[in-house]
Amino acid sequence: MNLCRLSKPAQIFTTRSLFNSSRMSLPRDVQEFLDGYPGESNDRAIKSNYEFYSNRRRCRPDNLLIDEMHDKWFGDYEKLEYKHGFIQWLFPIREHGMNFEAQPLQHHELEAMKADPQIKARLLKSYDLMLDFYGMRLLSEDTGLLDRAMPPRNYEARYRNLVSHSHNNLRISRILKCLSEFGLERLNAGFLLHVLNEQSESGELNTSMLHSSMDRWWANCIRNAAEREWVGKQIRQVRSGKGSFSRDMYEQALARRKETGTLDDSAKLVKDTA
């Protein structure tokens, strides 16, 4: 028996109206993200994000190089919870944040950063840092498959922290947008479907506030329209009580995408019933 995956009694929350309203009208920041930030500026004099991720600029106000932050802050949950200026540096996007000492990502920075393997490796370390903070761990960089953090980490305590500190919901929206911008959007479905599986099968991460953030913001931070719709469909089925989303379904969906390029198994179903 895998003791790490014992289930809690399922908790049911009525969030169907929240999700239906999200289908009618996306939040403005999500729509701008999906549209690729039309009308954005590209100030070539701004290069702080590129320099930070090149390990040549210290972030403000915390005065750390990115490699120092990765080393010193991994597992330091107090810092990660109560400091609020680092997230804009670790996950730069083409939007203003609450840290006015950080700059929105510029298009010229994005192109240079995407072309640098060391920078992309550092972005994955940033993702690992925050996943650990949220009680999760990345099993596959190729598929985005996640699982609960393993002992000595206490995933239950981290899950409780996530549902009780709602500012992390905004952080997760930023993380997903950033991963998408940097060509790592395959990780987004891995995160979303892990959370959905925890909600559906184990009653974890299952509050109305988290549902609202997930259904309106997180699930729409996928630019691939077919993938966004497939993930949304799984969420709607779970929210409506018409279906569940098991660990096997989660793992199979990501494996299928790696093999066929899509999460959708409808082509296989047609073949099986032909």
Q: Which two tokens stand for residue 233?
A: 């469909």
Confidence (pLDDT) at 14: 35
Q: Is the pLDDT of residue 164 over 80?
A: yes
Detail the DSSP E strand segments found in 51-145. Answer: 136-138
Confidence (pLDDT) at 5: 53
* pLDDT tens track for 75-109: 999 999 999 999 999 999 999 988 999 999 999 99
Average pLDDT over residues 232-253: 98
Confidence (pLDDT) at 24: 58
Confidence (pLDDT) at 6: 47
With b for 16 or more beta-carbon neighbours within 10 A and e for fewer, the 228-245 pattern comes to bebbbebbbebbeeeeeb
Q: Is the pLDDT of residue 1 over 90?
A: no
Confidence (pLDDT) at 132: 99
Q: Would you say the pTM of this structure is higher than 0.95?
A: no
Confidence (pLDDT) at 19: 45
SS3 137: strand
The share of the chain scoring above pLDDT 70, in percent, equals: 88
Q: Is the pLDDT of residue 23 over 90?
A: no
C-alpha distance across the termini of the chain, in Å:
38
Helices within 92-147 (DSSP H only): 107-114, 117-133
Confidence (pLDDT) at 25: 86
pLDDT band at residue 9 under the 50/70/90 scheme: very low
Distance CA(244)–CA(230), nearest Å, equals 14
* pLDDT tens track for 130-161: 999 999 999 999 999 999 999 999 999 999 99
Confidence (pLDDT) at 266: 79
